Amino acid sequence: MPEENIYEDLSLVCRRANTVFWVISALIFLALSYYWKIQIVDHKKFSGLAEANRTRQRALAAPRGLIRDRKGEILADNGASFKVSLIRENIKDMEASLAAVGRLLEIDVETLRSRVEQYKDLQQFEPIVIEDGLSSVDVAPIESRRLEFPELVVDVEPQRFYPKGALAAHVLGYLQERTPEEIRAEPDRAARAGEMVGKTGVEREYDNILKGEDGKIIEVVDSLGRVRAEKARQNPVQGGDVVLTLDYRLQAMAEEALEGREGVVVALDPRSGEILALASFPTFDPNRFITRFTPTEWLQLTNDPLSPLENRAIRGLYAPGSIFKLVMSLGGLGFGYVTPDTSVYCSGSTKIYGAVRHCWFAPGHGSMNLTDAIKNSCNIYFYTLGRRMGIDMIAMAAGRLGLGKKTGVDLAGEKEGLVPSSEWKTRTLKTPWYPGETISVAIGQGQLQVTPLQIAALTALVANRGSRARPHLFKSAPAGVKAGPADDDGAGAAAAAEPPFKPSAFESVIAGMWRSVNDGGTGKGAFVEGMDVCGKTGSTQLVSRESAERLSRAGREIKAHSWFSGFAPRDNPRIVVTVLVEYGGGGGATAAPVARRIFELFNKEIQGK
C-alpha cells in the first residue's frame, strides 16, 4: 500500500469543527449575556413584574371633610358603604362575565358594558366601580360567591351623606364621579376611577379643602385574585371641615316659607356680607347624586321643566320691578335731578312721549314727594324722574350700585344680569335707544335683568348707607388653608373705596322704605312689632297692561313675579331679606309676608341669646 494513502486528510473536518465551536461559543456568550442583563441589569424591572403578578394595589378613598353651618350643625357628613368593582384582568370571556355579573347584581348588561367601555383606556388590572352605596346585606351574595366571580372586588369606602336631605341643596351642591377625560387631564395627580368630586355649590368651590388625601393598600393575591395577605398600607387622610355662614334654622324657615312655590329667599348680614340663608325652589336631594344615575334618571332630572338643579338666587334673571325705584331714587338724589322735597302729582295716569302711562293705583296717589313715592311705590313719580334722568344716567346709577355685574359670591355660575343703555342697544341690537323705553326701565321693566342675590346686595348697600360688603358663604376652614371661589374672575370685587352716593341720599331712601313697611305702605306685610323693618316691594310685569286686561276679560289670570327686599333694624341693621316668588302676584301680598317670617325668626334668635 502506498505510504501517502495511510493517513486520511482531516483538514476540512477540522475547519468545520472549528467553525461550529466558535458559533456555539458565540451562542453561549449571547445566552449568558442575556441572562446577565436580566439578572443583573434589569433585575428591578422583572422583579417588579413578578411582584405585580402576586400583588394588587387598591386605593383607600379619603373621607371628605364635613360641612357645617355657623352654629356647628352638620349639613354634609360621611357614612360607611360598600362598592363593587370589576377587574378585567381576571376575566376570560367578557360577554359571559357581564351577563353573569348583571344577573348577580340585577344590573342591565348594557349599563355594565357602557360602564366598562367608559374606562377602556385604564390598565386591565385597575378596578372599575360598577355599583356603590351598598349595605352589608347587599354585598353578602357577592362575598359568598367570590370563587365563582374572581373579577369582582368588594371594598368599604366612606360615602357622602346629607343628613338634612334637600335643605340648602343649591348651596351645598353635589358630587359626581370624575370622568375619564378629567382623569387624563390631570396626569400629575393620582386620580382614580370612580373618584367623586364636587361639581356644584360649596362642594365644588372648596373641593381642595374637603377632598382629603387617598391612601392605598398593597395585597398579596393568588392566581385567582384572592387576597392572601396584606403587604403594606397607607391610611387615607380626611379632608378639612368647612364652616359656612348659613344659619340652619333660618335656612329651614326660608325653604318652608316658599311653601313649594318657585322662587328665592336670601338672608344676609349687611355688615359683613355673610349669607344666613339662601333658598331656591324647586330643589333636589343631593343624596341622589352619591350613587350613579342611569342615563334615563339623569335625563329626567335635567329635562324637568321646573329646572330643579338651577340655583335661581344667582342664575335666575328677572326684571326687578318696583325694587328698581330704590336705584332711581338714589340716582335722582345723587345726580341732582330731585331733592327729598321734590313733588310730583299722581292722578293715576300721565301722558309721556305720546303714550298714556298708568300708575298701579288707578285713582292716583295725589301729590307725592320722594319718601311718599317710595312708600306707595308710585309709578307716576318715577316715570317723571326717568324722563328727567334719561337712560344713560339711570344706567350709571345702577352700575354704581352694583347691578349689571356679579356680586362675587363664592358659588360657581353666577350671572351678571343686564342694565341697558343707549350704547348697549346700539352695540348689541344695532338700533338706537328710544325715549319711550326709558320710561319702562324707570319702574324696573324693559330690558333690565337682575338676580335675587344682586337685589340682596343692593339692599345691603342701602342699609349700610353706601358701604359695600361682598356676599359670601365661607366662614372658616383649617388653619393655613387659602379659600376662595373656584372661578372668581374678580367681578363684583368686595368693597369700593368710596360710597356711590352721599349718605344723605341713602337716609332719604331709607325713610321711604321705613314708611313702606311701618306707615301703611305697600310693604306693610313685612311689619314686625318693635323691629323697625325697612323694605320695598315690587311686581314684575310679565305682559303689557293691555294684554293683561284682554286676558282678564277672557277669564285667564296672569300673575306677576312678586318681590320684596328689606332690612332690619333701621339703625345698625343686622339682617337683609330678599324674597322673589315667581307668578306670586303683588309683592306686598305675597313676598312681604314671606320676608316677615324670616325677620320674626331672626328677632327671636337675637332675643334668645
Q: Name the residues annotated as catalytic.
A: 322
Q: Which residues pair with 312 in a beta bridge?
A: none
CA distances 105 to 112, 132, 142, 146, 153, Å, are 10, 11, 8, 13, 13
- CA 411 to CA 311: how far, in whole Å? 10
Q: What is the 3-state secondary structure (H, E, C) of 346-386?
A: ECCEEEECCEEEECCCCCCCEEECHHHHHHHCCHHHHHHHH
Question: What Rg, from alpha-carbon coordinates, does the chain have?
Answer: 36
- CA 315 to CA 451: how far, in whole Å? 6
Instruction: Work out the burial of residue 277: count CB atoms within 10 Å of its CB; fewer than 13 is exposed, 13-18 middle, 19 or more buried.
Output: buried
- 7: cell is 493517513
How far is CA 272 from its chain centroid?
22
- CA 190 to CA 85: how far, in whole Å? 18
Residue 206, CB half-sphere, CA atoms under 13 Å: how many? Answer: 31
**Angle, helix 325-334 to helix 391-400, in steps of 10 degrees:** 100
Task: Tell me the backbone φ, ψ of residue 215, rounded to 5 degrees.
Answer: -105, -170
- CA 214 to CA 191: how far, in whole Å? 9
- 421: cell is 343703555
- 413: cell is 355660575
Work out the number of other CB atoms within 10 angstroms of the CB of residue 177. Answer: 18
Residue owning grid cell 393598600: 217
Dihedral (C-alpha) 6, 7, 8, 9: value to the nearest 10 degrees? -130
Residue owning grid cell 351645598: 172
- CA 534 to CA 511: how far, in whole Å? 8
Can you say whether the dihedral through the CA atoms of 408, 411, 417, 423 is positive or negative? positive
Nearest alpha carbon to residue 464 among 430, 492, 506, 523: 506
Tell me the CA end-to-end span of the chain in Å, nearest whole number. 137
- 346: cell is 299722581
Q: Which residues pair with 244 in a beta bridge?
A: 474
Residue owning grid cell 316668588: 581
Residues 6+ positions from 312 with CB-CB distance below 8 Å: 262, 263, 264, 280, 281, 452, 580
CA distances 457 to 233, 356, 393, 407, 551, Å, are 50, 34, 21, 7, 36
Nearest alpha carbon to residue 460 among 269, 199, 296, 310: 269
